[in-house]
Amino acid sequence: MNVKKNENPIGGTHWVAYFIAVLLIVAAAVLLLPKYREYQKKAAERNELAEKLNARESEAARLNSEVTALADDPAAVEKVAREKYKLCRDGERVMRYTPPKTGTAQLDSDNPGK
């Protein structure tokens, strides 16, 4: 039997093996790409949820410190009573300032008759 060094004993070159290898790589890419995209979506969702969790934890810490201050600090209780419930101490005078609405105030130079 006369066989050349670069040829397959069956009679062809190694093109069949290369074709199968390329076919396997393409099939793997086609099968794995949707799972990879799903993984990326889940990772982004996980990051978003982690940010929300951090925000909620910091809000919970702030509210806990506020509750502790209201339970322990009379000045904090007084501040809430004054700001939220508009309370004042006996004998105090409350002065309120209401800023004028913009666009409705007229200058004296606008009314020359006055």
| Across 4-31, average pLDDT | 77
User: Cα separation of 43 and 81, whole Å?
Assistant: 46
The answer to whether 61 and 55 have CB atoms below 8 angstroms apart is no
CA 64 → CA 59, 68, 70, 74, distances in Å?
9, 6, 10, 16
Looking at per-residue pLDDT, the higher value among 103 and 31 belongs to: 31
What's the pLDDT tens digit per position in 54-89? 999 999 999 999 999 999 999 999 999 888 888 888
Question: Given this model, what pLDDT does residue 26 score?
Answer: 92
Question: Given this model, what pLDDT does residue 51 score?
Answer: 97
pTM: 0.51
Q: Is the pLDDT of residue 5 over 60?
A: no
What's the pLDDT tens digit per position in 19-56? 899 999 999 999 999 999 999 999 999 999 999 999 99
Q: Is the pLDDT of residue 101 over 90?
A: no
User: Cα separation of 110 and 30, whole Å?
Assistant: 76
- Strand runs (DSSP E) across 10-109, as ranges? none
Question: Given this model, what pLDDT does residue 96 score?
Answer: 81
